Amino acid sequence: MTSAVAGDLPAPVAVHRAAYRRRHVRPGKVVKETLFYIAVVIVVLIALFPFYWVLRTSLLSNQQVAAGVGGANGIIPSHLSGAAYKNVFTQGSFLRPLLNSVIVAAATTLVTIVVASMAGYALARLRIRGTGPILAFILLAGFFPVLAMIGPLFLVLRYLGMLNNIYPLIIVYLVYTLPISTWLLKSFFEQIPAELEDAALVDGATRLQVLWKVVIPVAVPAVFTAAILSFILAWNDFAFAVSFLTSQAHFTAPLAITTFGQSQFQTFYNLIDAAVVIISIPIAVLVLFAQRRIVSGLTAGSFR
Amino acid sequence: MSTTENTAEGRPARAGRPALVKRLTPERRRPTPVGHARETGDRRLGYLLVAPVIILLLAITAYPLVYNIWNSFHFDNLSYGGLPHNFVGWKNFRAIFDSPQWVSALERTLVFTVVTIVFDIVVGLGLALMMHRQFRGRGFLRASILVPWAMPTVVSAMLWKTMFDPSAGFVDYILAAFHPAWSGLAWLNINTLRAWTAIFIADSWKNIPFVAILLLAGLQVIPNDVYEAARMDGASWWQSFTRVTLPLLKPALSVALIFRTLQALLVFDVIYIMTGGGPGNSTESLSYLNYNTFIINTDFGVGGAMSIILVLLALAVSFVIVRAFRPATS
């Protein structure tokens, strides 16, 4: 903008303007900018330093943990080892819980995408009666207190002989994933021009064919967003897992972590933190790659 | 003939309506190639497609709710396996209201909720304003803020449990540099206030980002010319913030408020992992107590009654927030 204005003016005036700006506007602005960047750095530090601390702790040996922080084991320890990572898998048998978590989160995501795209399409396009109440109910279900569900669900699973089993979790976790995914996909489908579908309908395709062959391919970004959010939400559950699972072989990864590093006299945080680092990695990667998607997915249709 | 019933939800025109009118009626946004046979078929398919989501969500939420209501008026404790599940009237509810453990858990949870939402909304708004500015490194800031939100609660809780540990933690290490008496402070298992502080920090660290992202989206939909107009009228930064930004941010604020209030009211994972309800019972929340009653005491009668109260409390709080914000949103 400055240059555009300057270009229209005779050269001496433009120079004068620029000099004026530099002298009179800049100093206050520089202080402000500096303060702003300091604030940004503080925020980033608060957000990320705990991760550094956990990474640092996970690379210590048992002896270093026992010795406490300080001296050679300061903020940057003089000696690092990967022993805790090995112990998490050997002593802690972390592989099984990790695998359980992957299975449950992936299956939940898959079911969510199928069920939510069908419902989202119906709510966006097929003009069914009671769309408003249905959407309200789906939203309300998302707010339902988790801890108020565990008692009855525990009794049901006990009756079915499915306690201490990861597969029922796939259904239970839908309470986290379905509401947000259905809303997200519904609001995306609404934005797809109807002409696209009409063309296919004229050509004699059925609605279901239209949904799978026309709508879903166009909606890939939204489906992808819903999938990422569902995976994160299912991967992160603790309450259901701790209520229904009782033996290490059937634990999910978040639950298994709480059993690590406990000895009679000391908590071995290197072991716990190695496991913490391991389960953080997939989530961190997802966030870094799909930052924009996640943000838009979280806020889609929140206040319209 | 029957034109009266097709306006409200953009329903299809009925037989007897002239084709031209049908074509021109505004609610029919697109021409239907096959006519109303397609519409009826569509709607039938619509119910079929929407059924799974409704059935599944009813099974996971409504069914437990009804089951809880039933249980709350009956005796049902697995520890006394053989005893019949007799009707006991309001006995379970009375047991809860007479229990000092539950009453103090209620007080704690409410105090925690109020402190948390005030702090989280204020800080979240600050972060949203920060991310709303154009500057180099904005994407990096947003990613750093988003990472704590996406982490499992186990991660945030264990992270801060490590940070607050007297021997392995960073907090006491730094505090000791300021005052020797502050070295080796036990945060989680001795002092109630300190334990709550640690829980509060871990919980806010994880959940403020979500508030910030919601509010950022709210800021982004405020058109720029509103600010221009305020500036033209000579409004200071503070004036335009309180008179323009905040009122226009109300819808986003209400969404953030509802989310955060319910999360705080139902807090469980952080407490389970960081303190296990201790020292003593001093960090037990309503949800934690509910978990204990169900899973540890296997008392599904009293636990069911607790759940009903929890659901009613959550409903009441959301209702109040929605009511409080309604005039501006509509």
The answer on A73 and A172 residing in a single domain is no
Identify the domain boundary among A70, A85, A100: A85
Note whether A147 and A129 are same-domain residues: yes
Of the ranges A74-88, A197-211, B110-124, the best mean pLDDT one: B110-124
Domain containing A105 equals 89-299
Output the pLDDT for position B9.
Answer: 42
Q: Which residue has the higher pLDDT, A272 or A71?
A: A272
Residue A21 sits in the same domain as residue A103: no
Q: Quick check: B69 contacting A, CB < 8 Å? A: no
State how far the Cα of A24 lies from the Cα of B47, in Å rounded to an integer.
Answer: 67
Q: Which of A240, A303, A304 to mutate to test the interface with B (most CBs of B within 10 A)?
A: A303
- pLDDT: is B30 or B289 the higher one? B289
State the average pLDDT over residues A214-228.
90
Query: Which residue type occupies A13?
Result: V
- Which residue of chain A has the CA closest to B208? A47
Question: Tokens in use for B68?
Answer: 């809880």
Question: CB atoms < 10 A from the CB of B120, how many?
Answer: 26
**Is the confidence at residue A231, as pLDDT, over 60?**
yes
Question: With contacts defined as CB-CB under 8 Å, which chain A residues touch B9?
Answer: 127, 129, 131
Per-residue confidence band for B1, with pLDDT thresholds at 50, 70 and 90: very low
The tokens for B47 are 């119910």
What pLDDT is stored for residue A98 in this prediction? 93
Do A217 and A146 lie in a common domain?
yes
Mean pLDDT, chain A, rounded, equals: 86
Among the ranges given (A53-62, B12-21, B113-122, B124-133), the one the predictor scored with the smallest mean pLDDT: B12-21
Same domain, A181 and A224: yes
Let me know whether A255 and A118 are in one domain: yes
Share of chain B above pLDDT 70, in %: 87
The string of pLDDT tens digits covering residues A130-180 is 889 999 999 888 888 888 899 999 999 999 999 999 999 999 999 999 999
According to the model, what pLDDT value does residue A176 have? 93
Give B284-323 pLDDT, tens digit per residue: 999 999 999 999 999 999 999 999 999 999 999 988 988 8
Q: What distance in Å separates residue B141's CA from the closest CA in chain A?
A: 6
Nearest CB to A122; choose among B46, B71, B161: B46
Distance from CA of B295 to the nearest CA of A (A): 6
> What structural domains and CATH numbers belong to chain B?
1-31 (no CATH), 101-329 (1.10.3720.10)
Chain B 208-227, residues with CB within 8 Å of chain A CB atoms: 209-210, 213-214, 216-218
The DSSP code for B136 is: T
More confident call, B167 vs A223: A223
Q: What's the number of domains chain A is made of? A: 2
Do B214 and A208 make contact, defined as CB atoms within 8 angstroms?
Answer: no
- Residue of A69, A100, A206, A281 to mutate, testing the B interface (most B Cβ within 10 Å of its Cβ): A69
Give the residue-averaged pLDDT of A254-273: 86
Q: Cβ A119–B50 below 8 Å, yes or no?
A: yes
Average pLDDT over residues B118-132: 95
Q: Residue A226: pLDDT band by 50, 70, 90 thresholds?
A: very high
Say how many CB pairs under 8 Å bridge A and B: 303
Residue A16: the pLDDT is: 55
Rounded Cα gap, residues A183 and A190, in angstroms: 11
Q: Write out chain A residues lying below 8 Å of B143, CB-based.
A: 287-288, 291
**Is B256 exposed, middle or buried, given 0-12, 13-18 or 19+ CB atoms closer than 10 A?**
buried
Point out the domain boundary residue: A35, A68, A85. A85
Task: Tell me if A122 is assigned to some domain.
Answer: yes
Q: What is the ipTM of this complex?
A: 0.84
Regarding whether A80 and A10 lie in a shared domain, the answer is: yes
In a domain, A255, yes or no: yes
* Residues from chain B contacting residue A201 (CB–CB below 8 Å): 33-34, 38
- CB contact A281 to B (< 8 Å): no
Both A126 and A220 in one domain: the answer is: yes
More confident site: B13 or A165: A165
For residue B40, the chain A residues in CB contact (below 8 A) are none
Residue B68 is nearest to which of A152, A178, A295, comparing CB atoms?
A152
Q: How far apart are CA B289 and CA A148, in angstroms?
A: 11
Question: At A253, which CATH number?
Answer: 1.10.3720.10
- Which of A2-6, A123-127, B69-73 ranks highest by mean pLDDT? B69-73
Question: Are the beta carbons of A69 and B170 separated by less than 8 Å?
Answer: yes
Whether pLDDT at B21 is above 70: no
Closest partner residue to B152 (CB to CB) among A43, A123, A236 is: A236
The per-residue pLDDT for B84 is 80
Three-class SS string for chain A?
CHHHHHHHCCHHHHHHHHHHHHHHCHHHHHHHHHHHHHHHHHHHHHHHHHHHHHHHHHCCCHHHHHHCCECCECCCCCCCCCHHHHHHHHCCCCHHHHHHHHHHHHHHHHHHHHHHHHHHHHHHHCCCCCHHHHHHHHHHHHCCCHHHCHHHHHHHHHHHCCCCCCHHHHHHCHHHHHHHHHHHHHHHHHHCCHHHHHHHHHCCCCHHHHHHHHHHHHCHHHHHHHHHHHHHHHHCCCHHHHHHCCCHHHCCHHHHHCCCCECCCCECHHHHHHHHHHHHHHHHHHHHHCHHHHHHHHHCCCCC
Query: Which residues of B fall within a CB distance of 8 Å from A189?
Result: none
